Amino acid sequence: MFWFMLIALVAVVAAVALAVLGDGGVLRDVEPDRLDDRLPGDRPLERADVDHLRLPLAVRGYRMVDVDEVLDRLSAELAERDARIAELEAERAGQRATATALVKDPAEDGRPHE
């Protein structure tokens, strides 16, 4: 009985190995996983661009080159957005200061105080 189980086990392992290895005991070449849908370069990013982005996997996680490329692009666009927001806020603060200066102070209208 022992020899029968041993032979059956060897046969199962051999069958699995042949199924995995396939053609003549050689593993098939796997095409490298690459980032197919790159971020658009001709326009600013939109939320949908980031939502649909799928980074390719590598042996130990994601490919660092692709992740670095995406993060560099996102950080550059966020920096541009932050600079534009700061510019608009400064412009708005200047408009408020101008509007405040144009409004007369009631104490300066020349009438006597009661």
Alpha helix (H) ranges present in 22-63? 47-52
pLDDT in tens, 58-103: 777 778 888 888 888 988 899 999 999 999 999 999 888 888 877 7
**Tens digits of per-residue pLDDT, 18-36?**
777 766 656 566 566 666 6
Is-above-0.75 flag for pTM? Answer: no
Domain boundaries, the chain: 41-103
Which amino acid makes up residue 104?
K
Q: DSSP 3-state assignment of 42?
A: coil
Asked if pLDDT for residue 105 goes beyond 80, the answer is no
